Amino acid sequence: MDDKKIILICYYTKQNRYSFNALTGAIEINDELKNLQILFPNNKEDLISNITNTISSYEKVIVGFSFASNQLWDIWDTVVELRSKFGNKPLFFAGGPHPTGDPKGTLKMEFDACVLGEGEETFPNILTQIKESNDFRDNDGIAFIDEDENFVKKKVTPYIDLNDYPPFSVKYNKLGPIEITRGCPFLCYFCQTPYIFGTKSRHRNIESITKYVKISKEHGFNDIRFISPNGFLYGSLDNTLNLNLIDDLLSQIRNILGPKGRIFFGSFPSEVRPENVNNDVIDLIRKYANNDNLIIGAQSGSQEVLDKCHRGHTVEDIYNAVKCTINSGLQANVDFIFGLPNETEEDVQKTLKVIDDLTKLGARIHAHTFIPLPGTPFQYKKPTKLSKNLRKRISNLINQDLIYGDWRQQEKFGRRITNYFAKSKQNENI
């Protein structure tokens, strides 16, 4: 089958665009797929229109979804609607954090297969197999339901070397932040990152990063942002700051961009851990970068809760990070998660005390509510109910513009997905 006879439609929404940027970058460098046409609808209406317009013209229409758990029911409703409208001719593939963590549940959403873990190697192989033989099941890194209604989960493909793949696609004009680190050595029990991407940090080297900075600049992107689970540990092999390498990276990027370009390091879409914030690394941010803030992952003001979450830093680290940040003239945006499992009222009071202290120093609080995520040790843990006193304190901070975030929506979603996982687990045990 000629690859002009297949077409890929990526459901390219705001929540998943970075994933598809990397995925289409991997497709772009695959010689077997050099003529592949890809469409990028960013809403359900355009998605339906794209399938309608291509389903009779191509032998195979492949529709890709990448999503996190907070998109579960929106994606589910969309796929059910598409199945009802188009039947089995389109092939629906799911990838991303939720399908990787819960492939069996995802397949019940009427997907043909789940791509597990990293997709840069797996998904182009799948597309090539469909092009050549109309089949995709003889491939590692996927899960599917076979002809006998059995759940089949193939072994996950090895972790990639970031230097072997582009961080985005030039051919398909999907440029964006540059992923500089993948994987995380800190096994936080609420976070999917180490359980999907491994506990060894893999860093894109400076040569590769600067290559794509130059490409970004050539295409009119003068703001350079980075994707990393912990920006300040770039290049580190032992979880300690490699200041010389960060200096080298940022100075080379600054030379490429010139004075008019802007560098954002340690801010959106990345964050930094509090124990890695000190005056030396902030001096590098002030010297080379343009961000006016750091996003600091604190998560709780109770040392007991931090330890139960396997967080790996102290409350004192949080204070030190915020003081260093604010004293340098940068805004400290500090993440906290309310409703973590087994959180007591005493833990809540400790967290509120820390929040009060930090806001008096000048920090802003980014409030989250705990959501159980598939594949993590806390998948089947219930969120702790937020007390009336806590809600009142949060509301007061909101009124003072000291706290922000979607914690209310996350609280509702946390309850819903808790019930979903509980029912799934019960059905597995029947």
Domain borders along the chain are 3-153, 175-429
- 31 DSSP assignment: G
pLDDT band at 425 (very low <50, low <70, confident <90, very high): confident
| Region 188-209 average pLDDT | 97
- Taking only the tens place, the pLDDT of each residue in 120-148 is 999 999 999 998 887 889 889 999 999 99
pLDDT band at 429 (very low <50, low <70, confident <90, very high): low
- CATH topology assigned to domain 3-153: Rossmann fold (3.40.50)
| Region 385-395 average pLDDT | 93
pLDDT at 2 over 70: no
Cα dist from 407 to 311, 321, 339, whole Å:
20, 23, 10
Q: What average pLDDT does the structure give for the chain?
A: 95
- In terms of phi and psi (left: phi > 0; alpha: psi -120 to 50; beta: otherwise), the region of 375 is left
pLDDT at 302 over 70: yes
Q: Residue 4's pLDDT is what? A: 55
Cβ-proximal residues to 29 (8 Å cutoff; 6+ apart), any chain: 165, 166
Please say whether the beta carbons of 149 and 188 come within 8 A: no
Write the DSSP string, 63-132: EEEE--GGGHHHHHHHHHHHHHHHTTSSEEEEESHHHHH-HHHHHTTT-SEEE-S-HHHHHHHHHHHHHH
- 255 DSSP assignment: H
Homologous superfamily, domain 175-429: Aldolase class I (3.20.20.70)
pLDDT at 243 over 90: yes
